[in-house]
Chains A and B, each alone.
Chain A
């Protein structure tokens, strides 16, 4: 079975400092992995996805994630946080190759202090 664990329910950073949101996955085969962001009262938006191509994946708004098979991790990073990055972030694994059967992690709430 495929699953994801987000290691931090809340992360607080100062504006301009790096962001690290941690995610570990469990999968019986090479997984498709995603990061989604959810701003208050808005729909979930795809930040980036990994589908067995390059292990370092670049997404929107300066975010990137690195797939590390040996560590079963897919951590999300950004060099410099902006106030507008404050939101809920979900690490997601697909239970099928087509990306239809998504399993979401519990979410990490990112707070950005001025």
Chain B
């Protein structure tokens, strides 16, 4: 079974340029997460989708970040314009969905963004 797929794996851009990251979750996983991981730190949640609905985007900087999950499958995270401080690894994760017990989140390899 294929895991969570992310592309590109690496991206280098000039500041003020736009950038987009793509994520394809594991087939059948209804919940999709985007995380930001700064160097030497643990990941921090940016946004969580249940199917196509963003149910938790409280940590997403909405002035420059946007995300979408059309048709409740693939998702795109966009930054426009990028700033130097956005250099980090952007992780996508997916899980079967919410439950009282809790489903494991499966993580993709991430996209490493460098803003020059």
Stretch binding the partner chain, chosen from B11-19, B60-68, B77-85, B94-102: B94-102
With CB as the reference atom, state the residue of chain A lying closest to B101: A51
Q: Does more than half of chain A's interface fall in helix, strand or loop, or is it mixed?
A: loop
Number of interface residues of A (CB under 8 A): 24
With CB as the reference atom, state the residue of chain B lying closest to A6: B42
What are the interface flags for B1-33 relative to A under an 8 Å C-beta threshold, 1 for contact and 0 otherwise? 001100000000000000000000000000100
Stretch binding the partner chain, chosen from A12-20, A78-86, A95-103: A95-103
| A106 and B107 form a contact (CB under 8 A) | no
Shortest distance between the CB of B48 and any CB in chain A (Å): 6
Using known A-B contacts A99-B102, A99-B103, determine if residue A104 contacts B43 with beta carbons closer than 8 Å.
yes
Name A residues whose Cβ lies closer than 8 Å to a Cβ of B. Answer: 9, 32, 36, 41-46, 49, 51, 90, 92, 94, 97-102, 104-107
